[in-house]
């Protein structure tokens, strides 16, 4: 099978600082199955070549930019030479797989069309959150650009699909929608993933080179909570966690392979979904004299003991990101955050005392947010500045698979065609312009 090759592609817009974990994990799994493959981080390359276009990478307004058909079309017209280079890089590969999520789905489908036109004999497939039946798979199918679309977790079904294709068999692996000769997609049934997280192959970051300084890891999937604005429960279902021993073994291997490793980012929705396992991981890191920085997303919740935070500090745990979202307890309750802002203040003081750095996310313009609620968020941001300079301000968006989307009447919101960013309340008070104005105001105050 060595003469056949697979390309795993991630297109913009994705995080710039951290490499794409999902396809890096799939790369490791394919390699474990003796399938020759390579990851292509076109997002990183494209950011480097287009960073002068600041509107394209404006963190406050990413969704309205990358989900706008006209703006994406303009990107392809303005940067045609870059796409020609991308196409040439894919020429040696027989199977080309795209990772699709909300921010890159329009871009990825357009680029996949270029791949199909240039290389009609290549097998082009897609996976990722947007291919989930609860999300945008119907829109993806309408474009008819992918030969197969992975409808669930790919770690078990993707190797089976590729092996069938490379062996010249009729491609019938479960877990996919297949484009037939009539131009319609057939559902061959579900593939129940049986591999446990701690038994998966380690992610493959060889494409970054030996001097890689920032890598990703994962200890869990899903979340122990179900916030009103978040689609993670729809994507992953119930929370699933990985044994601390497996996580630490992968981290130690990273340290051995990459001499310049400076930070390991946990790709989880939250690193503290299983507090006992988190503390066990810290104990193992202490035993192995771990000093490289590490961190990720985390929840405000009980059991952030001084003992645990002290261990996190001893292992150089840093840059934890907390989805605080609002300074108003009323809005936190509407969001189903399951904590009050006073708990967050107590945690910030504890982290600061043990020299553990962190950042927070804020959501502006959640349904029901009044000027008074917004003022409470402004006060929160002012207080948090005593502990951190990293406050991420995001206008509220509506995504499929969330309570906001599924129960829009309950929230009294209207969803137009471009509903993600342009949703508005039926009374017209809460709209895109209002949310952006509040977000820009807060950013100016904390800058």
Domain regions of the chain by residue span: 6-187, 198-446
For residue 321, what pLDDT band results from cuts at 50, 70 and 90? very high
Q: Which has the higher per-residue pLDDT, 55 or 405?
A: 405
Residues near 108 by Cβ (< 8 Å), separated by ≥ 6?
A: 9, 11, 98, 99, 100, 126
Q: What is the overall mean pLDDT for the chain?
A: 94
pLDDT for 433: 97
What homologous superfamily does CATH list for 6-187? Response regulator (3.40.50.2300)
As assigned by CATH, the class of the 198-446 domain is alpha beta
Predicted local confidence at residue 434, as pLDDT: 98
pLDDT mean over 136-152? 92
260, 265, 267, 271: CA torsion to nearest 10: 140
Q: Is the pLDDT of residue 200 over 70?
A: yes
pTM, 2 dp = 0.93
Q: Is the pLDDT of residue 194 over 80?
A: no
Q: State the average pLDDT over residues 156-166.
A: 93
Looking at residue 1, its pLDDT comes to 44
- Predicted local distance difference test score (pLDDT) of residue 258: 95
Q: What is the pLDDT of residues 61-75, one digit of tens each?
A: 899 999 999 999 999
CA 439 to chain centre: 22
Please tell me the predicted confidence (pLDDT) of residue 317: 98
Averaged pLDDT for residues 177-197 = 87
Higher pLDDT, 444 or 153: 444
Residue 2, pLDDT above cutoff 70: no
Report the range of poorest mean pLDDT among 97-101, 231-235, 380-384. Answer: 231-235
Reported as a pLDDT band with limits 50, 70 and 90, residue 274 is very high
């Amino acid at each position: 099978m060595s003469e056949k090759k697979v390309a795993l592609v991630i297109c913009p817009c994705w995080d710039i600082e951290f490499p794409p974990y999902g396809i890096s994990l799939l790369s490791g799994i394919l390699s474990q199955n003796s399938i020759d493959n390579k990851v292509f981080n076109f997002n990183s390359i494209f950011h480097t070549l287009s960073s002068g276009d600041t509107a394209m990478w404006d963190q406050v307004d990413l969704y309205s930019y990358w989900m706008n058909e006209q703006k994406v079309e303009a990107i392809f017209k303005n940067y045609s030479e870059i796409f020609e280079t991308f196409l040439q890089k894919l020429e040696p590969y027989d199977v080309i797989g795209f990772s699709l999520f909300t921010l890159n789905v329009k871009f990825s489908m357009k680029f996949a069309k270029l791949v199909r036109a240039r290389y009609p004999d290549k097998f082009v497939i897609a996976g990722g959150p947007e291919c989930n039946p609860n999300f945008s798979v119907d829109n993806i199918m309408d474009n008819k650009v992918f030969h197969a679309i992975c409808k669930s977790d790919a770690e078990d079904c993707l190797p089976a699909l590729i092996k069938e294709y490379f062996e010249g068999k009729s491609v019938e692996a479960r877990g996919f929608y297949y484009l037939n000769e009539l131009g319609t997609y057939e559902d061959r049934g579900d593939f129940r993933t049986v591999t446990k997280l701690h038994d998966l192959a380690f992610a493959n970051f060889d494409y970054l080179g030996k001097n890689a300084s920032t890598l990703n890891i994962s200890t869990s999937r899903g979340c122990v909570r179900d916030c009103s604005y978040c689609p993670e429960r729809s994507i992953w279902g119930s929370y699933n966690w990985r044994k601390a021993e497996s996580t630490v073994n992968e981290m130690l291997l990273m340290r051995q392979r990459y001499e310049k490793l400076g930070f390991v980012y946990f790709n989880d929705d939250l690193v503290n979904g299983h507090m006992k396992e988190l503390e066990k991981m810290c104990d193992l890191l202490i035993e192995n004299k771990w000093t490289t920085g590490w961190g990720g997303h985390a929840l405000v919740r009980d059991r952030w003991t001084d003992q645990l935070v002290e261990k996190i500090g001893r292992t150089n745990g840093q840059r934890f990101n907390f989805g605080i979202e609002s300074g108003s307890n009323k809005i936190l309750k509407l969001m189903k955050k399951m904590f009050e802002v006073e708990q967050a203040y107590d945690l910030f003081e504890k982290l600061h005392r043990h020299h553990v750095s962190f950042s927070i996310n804020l959501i502006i313009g959640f349904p029901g947010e009044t000027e008074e609620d917004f003022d409470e968020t402004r006060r929160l941001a002012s207080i948090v500045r005593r502990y951190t300079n990293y406050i991420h301000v995001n206008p509220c968006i509506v995504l499929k698979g969330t309570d906001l989307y599924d129960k829009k009447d309950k929230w009294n919101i209207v969803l137009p065609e471009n509903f993600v960013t342009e949703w508005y309340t039926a009374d017209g008070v809460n709209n895109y312009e209002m949310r952006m104005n509040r977000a820009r105001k807060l950013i100016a105050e904390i800058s």
